[in-house]
A and B are shown apart, each in its own frame.
Chain A
Amino acid sequence: MAKRKLQEINAGSMADIAFLLLIFFLVTTTMESNYGIRRKLPPPPAADTPPPPKIKKKNVLEININGQDQMLIEGDLAQDKDIKPLAIKFITNNGKDPNMSDNPQKAIISIKHTRETTYKKYISVYNELLAAYNEIRNKYARQKFGKPFDQLTEEQQKIVKDAYPQKIAESMPK
């Protein structure tokens, strides 16, 4: 057989093939951003758990939500936007107002809701409470370390967290 010169494969259509694949992946890609509110559940009750200590009523900010998504804070009708200022005032009271918390370590926020309360209402309330805590912690972090809370080291964050612990209790009456 005569020696034939090896023909080169035309690679001109390679780009087309690659484009085809590219468009396929472009279309199927969902840059799924996954955001959410973090929460740590209380551990399951053990048999030998001591009864909860008596808590003074003034150290508890009571939030009640009924099945129609109406909300009472300490017995007064309130809207979502009222939560944050009220919570900040309550947590940072430090004994000034005799009807509010003695100090931030003792301040507890209690959320009571029913089975019919909608999830969106719960998330809204929860979000506003977190906003209140975040604002307080940021302010404290700026004062003490000159930086917002997110930029602190782990130990520094712990100091801030201990100064303003998040105490949110949830219950659903049967």
Chain B
Amino acid sequence: MGKFSKKKEGGTPAISTASLPDIVFMLLFFFMVATVMRESGEKKVQVNMPSADQVKKIEKKNLVTYIYVGKPIKKYQAKFGTAPRIQIDDAFADAKDVGPAFLKFKSTKREEEKPLLMTSIKADKDVGMGIINDIKEELRKVNALKINYSTKKGGVEANK
């Protein structure tokens, strides 16, 4: 039986962890690439978007300007009140600033990309249509006709 007892000497060999760093690095790279450092540094308005189910996904995110509409957050309420405001980039804006902001964004894009530009309105579900309409009118004036109403995915029953 000596033949067989020899085998047991080693016990189970330890699993090599040499490839562990490789696996972890792979995951790391994936998350590094997938991470988008938030496109606007600071949100100055509260946005709780309404729900809709007839939605499309935005693919070319680099061709989209975002306009936020909502109540100023607590920190700014003393200064700006609680009436809904527009935020473009990192600052509060008025409806009349929408057009120039779009043109500025457009001027940074290549010629063939210009017809594909889109403006995404991220508005709080409780803001009035007046302010949205003002934005739309300004966008029409500068020929920014492709717009997108950002919504959550879900039935409209959630909008009650």
Contacts and interface: CB of A to CB of B under 8 A. Distances in A.
Interface of A: 11, 14-15, 18-19, 21-22, 25-26, 28-44, 80, 113-124, 126-128, 130-131, 134, 172
Interface stretch (B8-16, B24-32, B90-98, B104-112): B24-32
B27 A122 contact: no
A124 B130 CA distance: 17
Contacts of A30: 36, 38
Given A25-B35, A172-B129, A119 B147 contact: no
Given A34-B58, A36-B120, A41 B28 contact: no
8 contacts: A22-B27, A34-B150, A35-B150, A36-B56, A41-B136, A115-B133, A123-B50, A172-B129
B52 interface: yes
Interface of B: 17, 20-21, 24-25, 27-28, 31-32, 34-38, 50-58, 61, 69, 120, 123-130, 132-133, 136, 139-141, 143-153, 156-157, 159
Contacts, number: 150
Contact of B130 (A11, A21, A115, A121): A115
Given A35-B58, A35-B153, 14 more contacts: A22-B27, A29-B36, A31-B34, A35-B56, A35-B151, A36-B55, A38-B147, A39-B149, A41-B140, A44-B140, A119-B124, A123-B50, A126-B52, A134-B54
Given A29-B31, A43-B143, A118-B129, A35 B57 contact: yes
A124 B126 contact: no
Contacts of A19: 24
Contacts of B156: 80, 123-124, 127-128
Contacts of A25: 28, 31-32, 35
A118 to B, nearest CB: 6
B146 to A, nearest CB: 6
